[in-house]
Amino acid sequence: MAFSEKIVNLKKEVLKESESLFRHVEEVAEQNTLKVLDAMRECKVSDAHFNTTSGYAYDDIGRQKLDELYARIFGAERALVRTQFVSGTHALATVLFGILRPGDELVSLTGKPYDTMQTVIGYDNPCPGSLKEFGIKYAELPMLEGKVNIAGIKDIVKPETKLVLIQRSRGYSMRSPLSIADIRAITSEVHRVKADCICFVDNCYGEFVETEEPTQAGADIMAGSLIKNPGGGIAPTGGYIAGRDKLVELASYRLTSPGMGDELGASLANNRLLFQGLFLAPHTVAQAIKGAIFAAGIFAKLGYKTLPLPGEVRGDIIQAIELGSAEKLIAFCGGIQKYSPVDSFAAPEPWDMPGYADKVIMAAGTFVQGASIEFSADGPLRAPYNVYLQGGLTFEHALAGVMGAAEAVAEIG
């Protein structure tokens, strides 16, 4: 793995400049590790909870304990953690379809949702099974200079508004992710305007980035994916929902069926992977954030627009870089793939991915297919050709991958 002298020197320079930033990330990881450890001790997690179950799985103690553990860590009344969730979008859709009823209004406070959520909503062309087809009304509040327009909440939230969607991460955009302070300010204003309006946070990519979660900052309910932050790179699949008791209960009826809810659901995957992944998650997230800071530093020095900049507050693990051309986007992803532990010999190509309007290119040499907490990169082939870098089970791997991507982009000129 021979890197050019220029890239090696840049690495040394960025690492030196990032020392204090890395210390802060490590301090957050230490606090979150203690939070998770305390919860595991208080919940009395035992190896008896690691067994698999089959069939209806009534009284599955591992499943029940995992729900209890997530609720405690996230400061929620109840949680629903299942390998039956096939993706983060599935978990989010389960909340929306579980809570909303015909005639209710859903409002996005973070502007246009990302591609897969647009199909759930029925954004432009309602597809079969979308919220719009079920008579759910939709409105959105455009972002204001990359921030949530808090002053505009009083005008968009109306008496018929049942639920507001708050997307913590940026999706395929160059806006800033939301910090916990942002979420606290948003939910406070929503509840001031309409006390019974449900604040729902899409928490994908945001878990353990700070020492609090959205449900500890005013959110009524949130959801995310286990093959992102909270799975720690070990969970093989799944998602979670956490929040107020009655809201999680409604979501559980959508996941299974009315009257059954969270009483069923076999633990077909080894539950140990879910418990152990959660335990490792604060450390793994810290590794990913350090890799993102390093990537921001290198590509900023190479003259590219990066968001966030190395020293800016982070609300998620994603590093966005504006590359300016399809060729550079493809080259970047090729560089990441080349330095992956799995399928390093493969060359990523843009393809028509389900739920996305444009062709998408993805570099993901991951042990778990599509696991965004592992080192990966992706982006839609549309101007200005932004790439979204995320994950990294180890900082050392992130270093190699970022340097490989930088070399590949430099070859384009």
What is the CATH T-level fold of the domain 52-268, as seen in this structure? Aspartate Aminotransferase; domain 2 (3.40.640)
What is the phi-psi region of residue 255: left when phi exceeds 0, alpha when psi lies from -120 to 50, beta otherwise? alpha
Kindly list the domain boundaries of the chain, sorted by start residue: 5-32+278-412, 52-268
| CATH for 5-32+278-412 (3.90.1150.60, 2.60.120.460, 3.50.50.60, 3.40.80.10) | 3.90.1150.60
Instruction: Say yes or no to pLDDT of 356 above 90.
Output: no
Distances (CA, A) of 205 to 63, 78, 248, 316: 23, 21, 20, 5
Mean pLDDT of 332-354: 93
Listed residue (230, 209, 233, 169) closest to 374, CA to CA: 233
**Sequence letter at residue 53:** T
Cβ count within 10 A of residue 225: 29
pLDDT tier for residue 355 given thresholds of 50, 70 and 90: low
Instruction: Say yes or no to pLDDT of 302 above 90.
Output: yes
What is the phi-psi region of residue 279: left when phi exceeds 0, alpha when psi lies from -120 to 50, beta otherwise? alpha
pLDDT tier for residue 241 given thresholds of 50, 70 and 90: very high
Instruction: Please state, in angstroms and rounded to a whole number, the distance separating the CA atoms of residues 156 and 160.
Output: 11
- The string of pLDDT tens digits covering residues 357-367 is 789 999 989 99
- The string of pLDDT tens digits covering residues 102-155 is 999 999 999 999 888 999 999 887 789 999 999 999 999 999 998 999 999 999
- % helix, strand, coil for the chain, step of 5: 45, 15, 40
pLDDT for the residue numbered 353: 78
Listed residue (235, 384, 379, 240) closest to 319, CA to CA: 379
Backbone angles phi, psi at 302, to 5 degrees: -85, 0
pLDDT for the residue numbered 171: 83
Which range, of 96-105, 192-201, 258-267, averages the lowest pLDDT?
258-267
Which range, of 171-185, 295-309, 392-406, averages the lowest pLDDT?
171-185
**What does pLDDT average to over the chain?**
95
Mean pLDDT of 263-275: 91
pLDDT for the residue numbered 173: 83
Strands across the sheet with 105-108, in order? 78-82, 239-243, 221-225, 198-202, 161-167, 105-108, 137-140
Cβ count within 10 A of residue 127: 15
- The string of pLDDT tens digits covering residues 163-203 is 999 999 988 888 889 999 999 999 999 999 999 999 999 99
pLDDT for the residue numbered 1: 63
More confident: 271 or 268? 271
Mean pLDDT of 52-76: 96
- Determine what percent of the chain is predicted with pLDDT higher than 70: 100
DSSP 131-146: TGGGT-EEEE---BTT
